[in-house]
Structure formats: structure tokens, C-alpha cells
Amino acid sequence: MTYIPHSPNERDEMLKTIGVKSLDDLFDAVPKKYRFPKLDLPAALTEMEAADLLDELAGANESTHQLVSFLGAGMYNHYIPSVVDHILRRGEFYTAYTPYQPEISQGTLQAIFEYQSLMTALTGMELSNASHYDGATATAEAVNMAFANFRGKRRKIVLSPAVNPQYRETIRTYTQGMELSVAGDDANADLLAGPEALLPLVDRDTALLIVQYPDFFGRVFDYTKVIEAAHAQGALVCIAANPTALALYKTPGEMGADIVVGEGQPLGLPLWFGGPSLGFFTTLKKYVHKMAGRLVGETVDSNGEKAYVLTLTAREQHIKREKATSNICSNQGLLALGSAVYLSVVGKTGLRQVANLCYQKAHYAAAELSRIPGMGLCFSQPFFHEFALCVGKPVEEVNAHLLEHGILGGYDLGKDYPSLNGYMLVAVTEMNSKEEIDMLVEVLKEAVHA
Amino acid sequence: MREPTIFELSSPGRTGVTFPVSDVPKFDLPDDALLRKELPIPELAEVDVVRHYTHLSHYNYSVDEGFYPLGSCTMKYNPKINEDTCRLPGFLFTHPLQPIETIQGNLALMFEMQEWLKEISGFAAVTLQPAAGAHGEFTGVLMMRAYHKARGDSKRIKMLIPDAAHGTNPASAGMLGMEVVTIPSDADGNVDLTALKAACDDRVVGMMLTNPNTLGLFDQHIVDVVKLVHDCGGLMYGDGANLNALLGIVRPGDLGFDVMHFNLHKTFAVPHGGGGPGSGPVGVSKRLADFLPAPLICIQEEADEENPPLYGYETPKQTIGRMKAFHGHFGAIVRSYTYIAMHGPDGLKAISQYAVLNANYLMARLKKYYRVPFDRICMHEFVMEGRFEGTDIRALDISKRLMDYKFHPPTNYFPLIVHEALMIEPTETENKQTLDSFTDALIAIAGEAQTNPDIIKTAPHTTPFGRMDEVKAARELVLCCWLPENLPD
């Protein structure tokens, strides 16, 4: 038996101590009619056979290591320094539980405390929690927090149509029992307009305005004035941010945001077919009691030594039950550690280099691609490492052609925005060489004129 | 003794991993007004980082180091092969939005995992999207609400939840504004049928039940409980946190449950990661299948003589929507897939048999020394009282003292219905010697309670850190550190 250490003798001694004759006798409380069903599952494999099977399944994929990727739209292909996974593979970290016993969990606790510190440094906010499941659920939790902040008296959120469509869908799922209306992200919204276009919707009934930075189309706006105007109506503002961009651009904290959330995957985490990744959540001190999720605080132990504990747990489900700020329990602890290791090992210099390389290469790609007759950029506003490109043909068709040449094309924006049929969202990172970008340009030329 | 923070270890100008110079012509950055001025991220060399995190790891207790009998957490051994399979490059470096033709391996694995979980649990359909147990609960409760709504039954707002339930159950119902009705336990640790009957009416959404419950007891009237809830038009939610007792023993779907979440990070050996990530797939009966979150993994084109099937996505007809971005915690799903493949039907049954054997063995040996409030055969865990007549020693003190004996303490003060609860779940992967040493330690502590109670009250004595000042942490709320030059004046 694979991981069960008992010898037959030991088993029998234990049964005797308990006072039953067989293992099956332990299950008398289970209704006899349903007891011991035959499970129709494949017979057990040895480790050697399982390794082969999994190898075969993984081998049936074409990964971004085999293809040249220009696909982003929420998850990005970045270089992960070797150190990150070496630390994550330490059993002391990955086989520990939530640090409820601080005397023997200071490793996890200090690492989370440092993660919280790094995220506040990056976003320019005052505090960070210990993580949410991903960028989408962190954004949905921002809605919960804002709703609770106004004790349910403000019943509207304004959601920019330029927020990641999967985040918007998740928010709609999360809020379906809340008697809350969502405005701003209808299919016919004017996508060329800047975020100011949302302001007429923000009123005295609005709990939260949500915008993305850079937005889903890669555009970078300074939200300072928009935030001021939303605050004038008494509403809170949440910015869903890309953490790589934050190494370069003005922080949401400087712009006056109340909540900054986002997907932490670009910070040293693998694409992993979409997860597990990392939802980060940062805010201001005045909202700390309304915030969901675990929080690590500094203290001292009985010897007066500086140490860390989970704090303000009275907000959480295991204490507050149905009155809790959220039902979250398991979070993304190990991924938060991964991102902290990434930020530590690339440091200030490395992180700036990554952001700058993304910017430079994306702008080179955009310049070259828009020179192709019939193609052009959808938007004229400044962008970071992603841009909407008109390819003048169904994107699916163009991507099929690219794939034949080993290129993973950009996201088909027509899937979410009817007005953007024929537009592709191209992402470029430090992983894309000039040669790869030039190849994309060449093959796209062929594709559109084929 | 204390390890400095990475901010304290930082030295201006020091670099770790750096990146190549740009190979494209230079483009000007936007105006300064749009750029940040400072980037207060620490500056360290690679070796500084490795040593820092290695030092921190030494302050953690873990399953790889020793026995971790946390009740309701299923801290079983996490097989190393799973850590390798989930990191195969074909899995690690695939983007969730790739065309389906390029990710057939991922989709085949997920499709088969849906099928396997259906077979193990007796449900009609399974979603792999939820990120954790609580996320799965929220998914389940949303589906229950949607089901009643679709039938035009809008007055159902009560969720029945036993007093022994995990806090996530009422919190999940609370997120949808439902009214939580607490159902007491009876003298044998079962759901009190009289109280349940009284609560069952046409305003009931359903009941959220953990079975075996958090006392580690299989409800002896489970068939009656399900019938009462169904008869008033309610749905049965099963909290799968304790599924490690049931593999090949009984299928919740066969018992009449309508919806249940799995905790892949408990039952199916995904490591707990110091708090996460988990993975919380949800199984449903036929009548809830149309409400599952989208997308599910399906066979888009059946296999023929020459080709394997083509896997793709489908959207259930009345879906509640999307619970998170993309397709769930794929990395966790690969680990559990490997684990199930290596167990097969007999191996899965053995997991539950030996988990239950270990728990009953511990209980049999300990009940002479500690009061066990419900003295009958338990399932994979049991609860005893951490207190001694004539002393002021509490469950917390016993927990701290266990650390001196090199064990992780059990879950304490839960379930709330037992005084000074110590909830012990050994799991199937612990051998008899470990269980005996743990028992011996608890018996020794029971002796110390009479002879030297102070040593328990002031424990732990041998850990890297002593007991914490939790009041100071909550009062001062120091939640982050910064580089010295960025410290507020």
C-alpha cells in the first residue's frame, strides 16, 4: 500500500487495542446498504508507471517553451529565477499548515510579513493582507469590502469595461445575492473613451469604482483626477494593477486609491494553465477591520524577542462565522512566498530591468506591426507591455496561421467585445527577443495577405 | 536568534538576478508625471536571499519533520512524486488561454479528474474551478440559491447548519445574505432530529452538513437527516473536509447529498503550503448539474480509430457564472491526479480504513487519561477535553507543552461545543511507533499536570520562540516594514 506504513502485525495489535476484529468493523455506523461501494477506477500504478503517464500527458501539450508566445490577457510569460522554486521546494515551507501556532511557525509568519511589506512598497498602499486566490477574486473581495464599509447602504458599483472580462464575470457571480447593481461595463460602452467617461455613473449610491492599471487593453492612465471626482461622491476606488507595471509607473497609492488588488502571477510564478496563482490585496489602515483575509503583525514573544503572529483574526470565519468579512480560509500562502522570493532576488534593479524590457520590446513590436498595411493600433493612449492590434481579419484565423509557424498569437478581443472583432491583444515581455518579434511581424504580414 | 527581515538585509547598489540589455531600438519612457520616483524594494545578492529563506524555514514545523495531528486539516504525508509531476514543463508553462489543440494533455487530465471524482463521490457532475474548500462552499451555496430561484421559489432564505460545523459554512451562507439557523447536536454527537424537524419548512434553502462531523463521528441517522431536508424542499450540502474517512467506504451522492466540495489539499495529498493554495472541486447531483460554474471540461469530438478524443470546454445551461479567472488550481489538480492514479480503488479504500484505524487507536489509548465526550467508534478523527480536574490547565497549555515533545499540537478550541477541545486527526500515513510516542507524550503531560503544572503553563520551553504577545500585535498593528530610508519620520 502506497503510503501506509503499517505491517500486518501492527495492524492486528492496533485492532486488538481498539477492541474490534477487522478494519471493516470500524464502519458499522455507515448504513449497510451503501457501505463499501465498488469504485470503477483504473487499477493502481506504481510511481514509475505514474511518472510515465504524467509525462505523456504533459508531453501532449505545446508549452510556451516550445512556442513563441505573445499571449497575455491576465497572465504573463516572464522569466522565473531558479532560486524561487528551490525555496518553494523546501518541505519546511510547503508541508506546513496555516501558522496558527506561532512558536513553531515563525518561518511562514515572517515570510508573509515580508510579502505584505513588499506589496505595500510596490503599490504605495499602507497595508496588505496575506493573499487571495487570484486577481479576479481579490477584485470581487474589494466589492465585498466596499459594500460592508457603507453597511450595505450604497448599492451600486461602477465597473470599467476595460477591466479584465474574467474579473468582471467573477464580480457578477460573487454579488448575485447582494442586491447590488453593477454599472459601466455594458457591451456597447465606448472603449475609446478614457476613464473620465465613467464619472457620470458615480453617484451618492456608489460604493466602489473599479478600474484597471494598465487596463485590459494595456493602456496606462493617471487616475488621480478620476479618483478625486469619485471621492467627491463619497465612493471608494479600487485599482486592479499589474505588479510588473508598478515597477515603472506612478503608484496607485500616489493617485489616491483606496484599494489596490491584482494578479501576482507576473512576480515569479508559473503560468500553470491558469493556477494556482496569487491575488494580492492592499488598502489603507482605516479599512483594516473591514478587510478580508489573513494578516500578520509584528509583536514580541515571552522572551521579549521580536516575532510575528496572525492578528485581527476576529474578522475571520473561524471566529465570526456568518458575520465574518469573508469566508476565505485557505489562501495562496506558498505563492505569496514565491513572489516574495522573486522580489527579493531580482531586487530593485532586476525589477526595473524587467519592466523596462517589457516596455521597450512591446513598443518596438507595436511600431513594427502597425507598419504592416491594413494593420494598426486600436488605441492612441500610452501603453505598457500589451496593446490592441487591428489585424483586419478574424483573429482565430490569423492565430491558426501563426500557430503553424510555432507562434502563440494574442488574445482575440472579439470574444468579449463585439466592437473589437478583428482585434488582437498582443503581449510582449522580456522573454521575447527582437528576432521573435521580427518573426511575428513577418508571419503576420503573410497571414493578413494570404 | 532572530532572522533580520529582507529589508534590514538590503544594501543599496547590491544586485541579485539581473536581466539582459535590450536588443531593440530605444523607445522613450512617458513623462515623469506618469512614472514612479522611488522603488523601495530591497537590494540583495542571490546568496543573501537563499540563506535568509533557509534560515526562516528552520523556524517552521512541518509534516516532513514530524507528526502534525491537526483535526479537520488532514495533514498527511505529501508524496514527493506529486511535486515532480505538477512541475513538468508541459504543465508549468502552458497559458490558460491557449487554443485547445495545444493543450490536449491538460484538458484530458482535467476531464479524467472530473470523471474520477464523480466515481469516488457518487455525484453526477463535477467542476474543478473552485480554488479552495471555502470557495467550493460558496460555489455550492450559489448553486443551491440558483436552483430554487429557477423554480420560482424565492422565499427560501434559511440555511440549516449544525453547531459543530466549520466556520466557513455559516460564513459562506452569510456571503449570500442567508439566515443561518443553528441545529444542535444530540447526546450521541448526531444531528438532533427533533430540532431539525422543527426547523424544516418551506423557507429552507438546505442544510450544510459535515459527515463525519467535526467530532469525528459518522451521523447514525444520516438517512433520516437527508430525508427531512429533502421532504421540506431543501437541498443537502456536504462539507467534504472529512472525506478522508469515506473513500471506498460510502459515497455522499449515494446517501442523497446534492452538492459537496472536495478538499484536494486534505484528502488527495496536495501540500498545505503554509496556508495554501488549496483546491476545492465541487460535485453535484443531477438536478444541480446545469448550474455548475463555467467552463467545464468536455469531450468535443469523440475518439475514432485513428484519433484520440478532442477535449474542449462547455458552459452549463443555467450556470451561476465564473468563480475565478481561468480553470482552477491546475497545479494542485495534477498532484491529486497523480495520487489517485497511484492508489486505484483498493488503495483509496485503504487510505480511509487506516486513517480510521489510527484515530481509533489513539482514542483507545488516551481515553483513560483525557475525557472523551462521545465515547463510540470514531472515524478519521476524534475530540477529547484538554483539562484536568482540580487544575487550571487548559487545552492551549497542553498544546504548547506538546511542542516540547516535538509534536505539532492538535486543533484546539474547536468544535465549539466541546469544552477545551483537542481535536486529533492522525491520518493514515503515521506508523504505530509515532502514534505510541505521541500517546506517551500526552500521558506524560497528564502526569505533569498533577506533579509540575507550572511546566505546562509556561510551555513551550524548547522551541525557537516563546508564547506571543497577541494583544500587542492587535493594538499596535505593525503590518509591514520598509527600507530604513523609507521609514516614516
CATH of the domain at B220: 3.40.640.10
Please, what are the averages of pLDDT over each run of 10 residues along chain B (489 residues)? 91 97 97 94 98 98 98 97 98 98 98 98 98 96 97 96 92 91 95 98 97 96 98 97 98 98 98 97 98 97 94 98 97 98 98 98 98 96 96 97 98 92 98 98 98 97 96 94 67
- State the total domains in chain A: 2
Please indicate, yes or no, whether residues B263 and B302 belong to a single structural domain of this protein. Answer: yes
**Residue B335 within any structural domain of the chain:** yes
**Residue B12 within any structural domain of the chain:** no
Decide if A407 contacts A334 (C-beta within 8 A): no
Please indicate, yes or no, whether residues A244 and A98 belong to a single structural domain of this protein. Answer: yes
Please indicate, yes or no, whether residues A184 and A236 belong to a single structural domain of this protein. Answer: yes
Decide if A133 contacts B330 (C-beta within 8 A): no
Query: Model ipTM?
Result: 0.97
Decide if B414 contacts B421 (C-beta within 8 A): yes
Please indicate, yes or no, whether residues A293 and A382 belong to a single structural domain of this protein. Answer: no
* Terminal C-alpha separation, chain A: 59
Decide if B371 contacts B421 (C-beta within 8 A): no
Please report the pLDDT score of residue B75 as a whole number: 98
Please indicate, yes or no, whether residues B449 and B321 belong to a single structural domain of this protein. Answer: no
Mutation choice for B interface testing from A7, A327, A342, A380 by most B CBs within 10 A: A327
Q: A104 vs B254: CB contact, 8 Å cut-off?
A: no
Q: B275 vs A97: CB contact, 8 Å cut-off?
A: yes
**Residue A22 within any structural domain of the chain:** no
Please indicate, yes or no, whether residues A126 and A140 belong to a single structural domain of this protein. Answer: yes
Please indicate, yes or no, whether residues B225 and B110 belong to a single structural domain of this protein. Answer: yes
Nearest Cα of chain B lies from the Cα of A169 at a distance, in angstroms, of 6
CATH of the domain at A100: 3.40.640.10
Last residue of some domain: B341, B363, B381?
B341
Annotate A204-256 with DSSP letters as a single string: TTEEEEEEEES-TTSB----HHHHHHHHHTT-EEEEEE-TTGGGTBPPHHHHT
Residue B30 neighbours by CB under 8 Å, 6+ apart: A220, A382
Beta bridge partners of A192: none
Q: A311 vs B321: CB contact, 8 Å cut-off?
A: no
Please indicate, yes or no, whether residues A269 and A352 belong to a single structural domain of this protein. Answer: no
Of the candidates A74, A326, A344, which has its C-beta nearest B44's C-beta?
Answer: A344
CATH of the domain at B383: 3.90.1150.10
Q: B60 vs A363: CB contact, 8 Å cut-off?
A: no
Range of the domain at A75: 68-79+348-449
Of the candidates B16, B35, B95, which has its C-beta nearest A350's C-beta?
Answer: B16
**Residue A146 within any structural domain of the chain:** yes
Packing angle between helix B344-366 and helix A8-18, nearest 10 degrees? 50
Q: B174 vs A106: CB contact, 8 Å cut-off?
A: no
Taking only the tens of pLDDT, chain A with its 450 residues reads: 689 999 999 999 999 999 999 999 999 999 999 999 999 999 999 999 999 999 999 999 999 999 999 999 999 999 999 999 999 999 999 999 999 999 999 999 999 999 999 999 999 999 999 999 999 999 999 999 999 999 989 999 999 999 999 999 999 999 998 889 999 998 788 899 899 999 999 999 999 999 999 999 999 999 999 999 999 999 999 999 999 999 999 999 999 999 999 999 999 999 999 999 999 999 999 999 999 999 999 999 999 999 999 999 888 777 778 888 788 888 999 999 999 999 999 999 999 999 999 999 999 999 999 999 999 999 999 999 999 999 999 999 999 999 999 999 999 999 999 999 999 999 999 999 999 999 999 999 988 776
Which chain A residues are Cβ-neighbours of B251 within 8 angstroms? 34, 37
Nearest Cα of chain A lies from the Cα of B260 at a distance, in angstroms, of 16
The verdict on A392 touching B (C-beta cutoff 8 Å) is: no
Nearest Cα of chain A lies from the Cα of B428 at a distance, in angstroms, of 6
Last residue of some domain: A342, A376, A395?
A342
Nearest Cα of chain A lies from the Cα of B484 at a distance, in angstroms, of 13
Sign of CA dihedral A376, A379, A383, A387: negative
The SS3 of residue A411 is strand
The SS3 of residue B361 is helix
Q: A106 vs B356: CB contact, 8 Å cut-off?
A: no
Please indicate, yes or no, whether residues A184 and A258 belong to a single structural domain of this protein. Answer: yes
Please indicate, yes or no, whether residues A250 and A377 belong to a single structural domain of this protein. Answer: no
Range of the domain at B386: 352-463
Please indicate, yes or no, whether residues A327 and A240 belong to a single structural domain of this protein. Answer: yes
Please indicate, yes or no, whether residues B306 and B415 belong to a single structural domain of this protein. Answer: no
**Residue A273 within any structural domain of the chain:** yes
CATH of the domain at A362: 3.90.1150.10
Sign of CA dihedral A119, A121, A125, A128: positive
Convert A202-236 to b/e letters by CB count within 10 Å (16 or more is b): beeebbbbbbbbbbbbbbbbbbeebbebbeebebb
Please indicate, yes or no, whether residues A414 and A275 belong to a single structural domain of this protein. Answer: no
Please indicate, yes or no, whether residues B336 and B401 belong to a single structural domain of this protein. Answer: no
Please indicate, yes or no, whether residues B321 and B366 belong to a single structural domain of this protein. Answer: no
Which chain B residues are Cβ-neighbours of A335 within 8 angstroms? 273, 276-277
**Residue B46 within any structural domain of the chain:** no
**Residue B233 within any structural domain of the chain:** yes
Last residue of some domain: B292, B322, B341?
B341
Please indicate, yes or no, whether residues A262 and A395 belong to a single structural domain of this protein. Answer: no
Of the candidates A30, A134, A276, which has its C-beta nearest B331's C-beta?
Answer: A276
**Residue A408 within any structural domain of the chain:** yes
**Residue B50 within any structural domain of the chain:** no
Would you tell me which residues 78-137 of chain A have a C-beta closer than 8 angstroms to some C-beta of chain B? 79, 81, 83, 85-87, 89-99, 101-108, 110-114, 116-118, 120-122, 124, 127-128, 130-131, 133-137
**Residue A52 within any structural domain of the chain:** no
Strands (E) in A16-165, as ranges, are 68-69, 127-128, 156-159
Q: A104 vs B464: CB contact, 8 Å cut-off?
A: yes
Nearest Cα of chain A lies from the Cα of B97 at a distance, in angstroms, of 8
Last residue of some domain: A316, A342, A368?
A342
Last residue of some domain: A308, A342, A376?
A342
Please indicate, yes or no, whether residues B262 and B393 belong to a single structural domain of this protein. Answer: no
Annotate A53-83 with DSSP letters as a single string: HHHHHHHTB--TTTSEE---TT-------HH
* Cβ-based burial of A395 (10 A; exposed 0-12, middle 13-18, buried ≥19): buried
- State the total domains in chain B: 2
Please indicate, yes or no, whether residues B254 and B124 belong to a single structural domain of this protein. Answer: yes
The length of chain B is 489
Which chain A residues are Cβ-neighbours of B327 within 8 angstroms? 273-275
**Residue A46 within any structural domain of the chain:** no
Please report the pLDDT score of residue A450 as a whole number: 67
The SS3 of residue A282 is strand
**Residue B363 within any structural domain of the chain:** yes
B56: nearest Cα among A265, A126, A329, A99: A99
Packing angle between helix A333-369 and helix A434-449, nearest 10 degrees? 60
Q: What is the largest CA-CA distance in chain A?
A: 84
**Residue B114 within any structural domain of the chain:** yes
**Residue B137 within any structural domain of the chain:** yes
The verdict on B368 touching A (C-beta cutoff 8 Å) is: no
Q: For strand B382-385 and strand B411-412, is the pairing parallel, antiparallel, or unpaired?
A: unpaired
* Cβ-based burial of A270 (10 A; exposed 0-12, middle 13-18, buried ≥19): buried
Residue of A nearest to B54 (CA): A87
A366-420 confidence digits (pLDDT tens): 999 999 999 999 999 999 999 999 999 999 999 999 999 999 999 999 999 999 9
**Cell triple for A218:** 494595456
The verdict on B327 touching A (C-beta cutoff 8 Å) is: yes
Last residue of some domain: B313, B341, B369?
B341
Please indicate, yes or no, whether residues A260 and A388 belong to a single structural domain of this protein. Answer: no
Annotate B463-474 with DSSP letters as a single string: SSS--B-HHHHH
Would you tell me which residues 459-478 of chain B have a C-beta closer than 8 angstroms to some C-beta of chain A? 460, 463-470, 472-474, 476-478
Please report the pLDDT score of residue B1 as a whole number: 62
Q: Please tell me whether the peptide bond between A276 and the residue prior to it is cis, using omega within 30 degrees of 0.
A: yes
Please indicate, yes or no, whether residues A230 and A268 belong to a single structural domain of this protein. Answer: yes
Q: B466 vs A166: CB contact, 8 Å cut-off?
A: no
Please indicate, yes or no, whether residues B119 and B143 belong to a single structural domain of this protein. Answer: yes
Please indicate, yes or no, whether residues B400 and B453 belong to a single structural domain of this protein. Answer: yes
Nearest Cα of chain B lies from the Cα of A380 at a distance, in angstroms, of 13
A69-99 confidence digits (pLDDT tens): 999 999 999 999 999 999 999 999 999 999 9
**Residue A50 within any structural domain of the chain:** no
Please indicate, yes or no, whether residues B110 and B237 belong to a single structural domain of this protein. Answer: yes
Provide the residue type at B401 as one letter.
Answer: R
Would you tell me which residues 62-121 of chain B have a C-beta closer than 8 angstroms to some C-beta of chain A? 62-65, 68, 70, 73, 75-79, 81, 83-85, 87-99, 101-106, 108-109, 116, 119-120
Please report the pLDDT score of residue B451 as a whole number: 97
CA–CA dist B147, B151 (Å, integer): 7
Decide if A225 contacts A194 (C-beta within 8 A): no
Which chain A residues are Cβ-neighbours of B326 within 8 angstroms? 74-75, 134, 166, 273-275
Please indicate, yes or no, whether residues B97 and B219 belong to a single structural domain of this protein. Answer: yes
**Residue A266 within any structural domain of the chain:** yes
